[in-house]
């Protein structure tokens, strides 16, 4: 079971890192969020825009809290 936890932690970190990289890229936030939604759809994850906005806000709050 510990191996599964490690794999999930690595995958979660990779997704969070990719999301942060996209969010801080020099593009409009709206374009970046659309790219994230499309990427998640390709992976079979359906996410409504308001839920994506909440996730983005949580990530930004967490990053700001750690800086």
Q: What is the pLDDT of residue 13?
A: 83
Q: What is the pLDDT of residue 14?
A: 82
Question: Per-residue pLDDT for 36 more than 80?
Answer: no
Question: Per-residue pLDDT for 58 more than 80?
Answer: yes
How far apart are alpha carbons 52 and 17 in whole angstroms? Answer: 15
For 17-34, how does the pLDDT look when each residue is reduced to its tens digit (9 = 90+)? Answer: 888 877 777 767 778 777
The answer to whether residues 49 and 6 touch, using CB atoms and an 8 Å cutoff, is no
How far apart are alpha carbons 65 and 41 in whole angstroms? Answer: 30
């Amino acid at each position: 079971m510990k191996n599964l936890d490690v794999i999930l932690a690595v995958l979660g970190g990779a997704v969070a890192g990719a999301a942060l990289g996209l969010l801080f890229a020099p593009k409009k936030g709206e374009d970046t969020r659309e790219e994230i939604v499309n990427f998640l759809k390709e992976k079979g994850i359906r996410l409504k825009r308001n839920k994506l906005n909440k996730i983005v806000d949580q990530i930004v709050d967490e990053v700001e809290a750690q800086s």
